[in-house]
Structure 1
């Protein structure tokens, strides 16, 4: 019985249950191999896939608690393009879930587009859940790329990747 006004019960420490795994980069590599997607490990310890117009990086935070996929698209803009670019990206963020997109500005002032998806995996996940999430993130990065070109053109921004 819970007392009115009492603090909610604290969650029990996360302990993996049977069928639950602690994913790592090796597991992602195996998933990508099954999907026939080539990958490499970069100097920063990320697992990367390269597509014609973007690169997708898979990472875990230092504690292995958060699994993330970050995509950098081969489209380059100026700071003056940011307001129109943000309006386009806001449309995607408003209408979709799971993959969020934003701008990043390099030291030289070049503006790029980045997408990101994350999943908390502190207590572990099932192998099936992890594979399905990884596959969904691959598909979402490609879907965003296909969606983006026409939207940029409508906004008067360069629609073709470099």
Structure 2
């Protein structure tokens, strides 16, 4: 995703209690065990969290973590340095839409953005004229954050990314995609 990713020097490696991470099946929200003070999250912590959420992931050629689903992929990225470091969860929705439909699509996305905290979704028009969506949530982590806040936010952002895809399918009556939307709860095995 970018060249400025990487881990922060001196990060704390912590372990998350595996039984505390929900797997989108109705388990309680995570209650991680770890240091009482702030931690500076890094990619290894995100990998532990994804493993414990039973989500498959890959590391792309730029070093970013990505969890692929059938109709979208979610990236977990660190940008910036020092106390300005930001953790971003960015989801690229692969379903293409026609440019003629953009006003209607934007109206729906505006409604989503008004009613929800995350992900904030915006459109991107590609050179071929197709419109796709990107959802994003960010957290400033360079000064340290509570482990519990980091874990619960990341889990919530992943859930919300999945929920946006379901909501969008329902809003636009994409009947052929409704059956596959339930499959989106599990990462795509073909990645």
Q: TM-score over 0.5 for the alignment? A: yes
- The aligned residue for residue 124 of structure 1 is 144
- The aligned residue for residue 68 of structure 2 is 50
CA RMSD, 1 decimal: 2.0
Q: Does 1:41 align with 2:48?
A: no
- The aligned residue for residue 101 of structure 1 is 121
What TM-score, normalized by structure 2, do the two folds share? 0.69
Alignment of 1:13-52 (within 5 A): 19-52=37-70
Alpha-carbon shift at residue 126 of structure 1 (Å): 1.7
Structure 1 contact 73–114 (Cα < 8 Å) conserved = yes
SS of residue in 2 equivalent to 1:136: helix
Give the distance between the partners of 2:47 and 2:36, measured in 1 at CA: 23
Gaps of 5+ in 1: 1-16
Based on CA coordinates, which of the two structures has the bigger radius of gyration? 1
Alignment of 1:110-121 (within 5 A): 110-121=130-141
What TM-score, normalized by structure 1, do the two folds share? 0.80
- The aligned residue for residue 156 of structure 2 is 136
- The aligned residue for residue 106 of structure 2 is 86
Gaps of 5+ in 2: 1-34, 181-191
Structure 1 contact 47–58 (Cα < 8 Å) conserved = yes
Q: Does 1:63 align with 2:63?
A: no
Structure 2 contact 36–146 (Cα < 8 Å) conserved = no
Alpha-carbon shift at residue 63 of structure 1 (Å): 1.7
Structure 1 contact 149–160 (Cα < 8 Å) conserved = no
Q: How many pairs align?
A: 142
Match of 1:148 among 168, 179, 183: 168
- The aligned residue for residue 97 of structure 2 is 77
